[in-house]
């Protein structure tokens, strides 16, 4: 209520990217003010419960609702995400070298469609800056994923070396890693989702993961691949085969879409990736196809268009073990997390499930 009546009207009068920075910088500063983290937990925190807890990838998630990559590109606010109710969070996308991204303006609200369009272009400060920040985050209450990508100036034939460099620099600091090959805002990036380029990229990342794990004396950390929604069933099927064969631990479905079907707002004409409600059905269908193709053996994080508990539960029943939000957070605020958690719990009980794990893929049985 506080967000929708007070903060949102102010933020929505600002340029979207300026508002974005205000939120991230505010969360970063709030972490350091005595009493504020506890107050935020009291206002927005999601109590842990047996029904909602998920143990996956060797990690414990207090509940299945996470923050998608893109909001905190430089890991500035990781200390606050658990306090406002998230069960895990992705930071990034980060590239080996810092880069400015695409020209302004590059972020647009579509309020009549409950959507955003962005063409940010992996703007970030680079792996060294992120490593410094994550190294200071000692007491994590939730798992933190690091989403990695390639620099715009790096040709696709050398892209695998950028992903290797990210893994090498950030391995000690992420609880798990996400390979981003599905943003529509870096030229030719999505070509890495297919064929020999995908095989080379995944084998390089998994090789570097092994090197880093051995050097640290610990087990391998989980690696997931984030995929695009804009593929045919045949293309998706081939890609999932390659991902499964690589030894990668899971898939995030999906990234933003280049589709503009059914949109009403004038900003629909802007180029870039669309997120929000219009993506809901397609992203759920991709989750469903991946789960069916893999027989549920490859864990899936469902992302795209989740605004209600029904949206979240649909993705879980389609095959998602965890879910992520981003655009809904912009429109609804952090109070949404408690609403989603309570709603998922209510639906689990209604359907006779004792836990999230029991409900994953229920539509296929």
pLDDT at 191 over 80: no
> Residues of the chain with pLDDT > 90: what percent?
89
Query: What residue has token string 């879910």?
Result: 323
Q: Is 183 a catalytic residue?
A: yes
- What pLDDT is recorded for position 1? 64
Structure tokens of 100?
A: 């400015």
Q: How far apart are CA 301 and CA 81, in angstroms?
A: 18
> How would you class 96 by CB atoms within 10 Å of its CB: exposed for 0-12, middle for 13-18, buried for 19 or more?
buried
Q: How far apart are CA 127 and CA 32, in angstroms?
A: 23
Structure tokens of 178?
A: 């996400």
Structure tokens of 75?
A: 């890991």
pLDDT at 186 over 90: no
Domain 2-364 of CATH type 3.20.20.70: yes
Among 54-58, 230-234, 274-278, 356-360, which is the least confidently predicted range?
230-234
* Angle in degrees, CA 125, 127, 129, rounded to 5: 55
- What pLDDT is recorded for position 187? 75
Catalytically annotated residue among 29, 49, 182, 183: 183
pLDDT at 183 over 90: no
Among the listed residues 149, 113, 92, the one whose alpha carbon sits nearest the alpha carbon of residue 259: 113
**CA distances from residue 167 to 7, 148, 204, 286 in whole angstroms, order as listed:** 37, 8, 10, 27
pLDDT at 219 over 90: no
Give backbone dihedrals phi and psi of 138, rounded to 5 degrees, phi first: -80, -40
**Region 58-79 average pLDDT:** 96
Among the listed residues 77, 201, 78, 105, the one whose alpha carbon sits nearest the alpha carbon of residue 150: 201
Q: How far apart are CA 1 and CA 310, in angstroms?
A: 21
What confidence tier does 33 reach under pLDDT thresholds 50, 70, 90? very high
Q: Which residue has the higher pLDDT, 182 or 45?
A: 45
- What pLDDT is recorded for position 3? 87
pLDDT at 192 over 90: no
Sign of CA dihedral 129, 135, 136, 141: positive
Q: For residues 25 and 107, is the Cβ–Cβ distance under 8 A?
A: no
Structure tokens of 192?
A: 């890495």
Among the listed residues 174, 166, 206, the one whose alpha carbon sits nearest the alpha carbon of residue 91: 174
DSSP 8-class letter at 282: H
Using DSSP bridges, classify how beta strands 115-118 and 273-276 pair: parallel, antiparallel or unpaired: antiparallel
**Region 198-212 average pLDDT:** 94
Query: What residue has token string 């929000």?
Result: 276
The DSSP line for 132-143 is: HHHHT--S-SS-
pLDDT at 120 over 70: yes
Query: What residue has token string 């992903």?
Result: 163
Q: For residues 183 and 122, is the Cβ–Cβ distance under 8 A?
A: yes
Q: For residues 118 and 106, is the Cβ–Cβ distance under 8 A?
A: yes
**Region 48-52 average pLDDT:** 94
- What pLDDT is recorded for position 28? 93
Q: How far apart are CA 26 and CA 31, in angstroms?
A: 9
Query: What residue has token string 């479905």?
Result: 253
pLDDT at 185 over 80: no
Q: How far apart are CA 316 and CA 64, in angstroms?
A: 9
Domain boundaries, the chain: 2-364
For residue 343, give the H/E element and its range: helix 335-350
Write out pLDDT tens, residues 126-181: 999 999 999 998 778 999 999 999 999 999 899 999 999 999 999 999 999 999 98
For the chain, first and last CA: distance in Å? 39
């Amino acid at each position: 209520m506080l967000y929708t009546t007070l903060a949102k009207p102010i933020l929505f009068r600002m340029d979207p990217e300026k508002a974005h920075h205000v939120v991230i910088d505010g969360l970063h500063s709030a972490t350091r003010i005595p009493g504020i983290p506890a107050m935020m937990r009291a206002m927005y925190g999601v109590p842990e419960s047996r029904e909602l807890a998920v143990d996956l990838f060797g990690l414990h998630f207090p509940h299945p609702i996470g923050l998608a990559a893109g909001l905190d590109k430089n890991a500035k606010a990781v200390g606050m995400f658990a306090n406002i109710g998230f069960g895990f969070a992705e930071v990034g996308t980060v590239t080996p070298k810092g880069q400015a991204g695409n020209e302004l303006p590059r972020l647009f609200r579509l309020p009549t469609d409950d959507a955003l369009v962005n063409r940010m272009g992996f703007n970030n400060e680079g792996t060294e800056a992120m490593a410094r920040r994550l190294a200071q985050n000692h007491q994590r209450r939730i798992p933190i994923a690091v989403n990695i990508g390639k620099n715009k100036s790096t040709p696709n034939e050398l892209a695998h070396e950028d992903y290797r460099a990210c893994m090498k620099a950030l391995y000690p600091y992420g609880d798990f890693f996400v390979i981003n090959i599905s943003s529509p805002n870096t030229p030719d990036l999505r070509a890495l989702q297919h064929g020999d380029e995908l095989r080379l990229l995944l084998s390089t990342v998994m090789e570097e993961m092994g090197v880093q794990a051995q050097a640290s004396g610990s087990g391998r950390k989980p690696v997931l691949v984030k995929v695009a929604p804009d593929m045919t069933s045949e293309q998706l099927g081939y890609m999932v085969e390659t991902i499964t064969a690589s030894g990668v631990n899971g898939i995030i479905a999906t990234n933003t879409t280049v589709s503009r079907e059914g949109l009403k707002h004038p900003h629909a004409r802007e180029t870039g990736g669309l997120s929000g409600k219009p993506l809901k059905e397609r992203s759920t269908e991709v989750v469903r196809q991946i789960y069916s193709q893999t027989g549920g053996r490859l864990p899936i994080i469902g992302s795209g268009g989740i605004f209600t508990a029904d949206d979240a539960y649909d993705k879980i029943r389609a095959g998602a073990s965890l879910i992520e939000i981003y655009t809904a957070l912009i429109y609804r605020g952090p109070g949404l997390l408690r609403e989603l958690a309570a709603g998922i719990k209510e639906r689990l009980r209604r359907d006779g499930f004792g836990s999230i794990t029991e409900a994953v893929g229920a539509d296929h049985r």
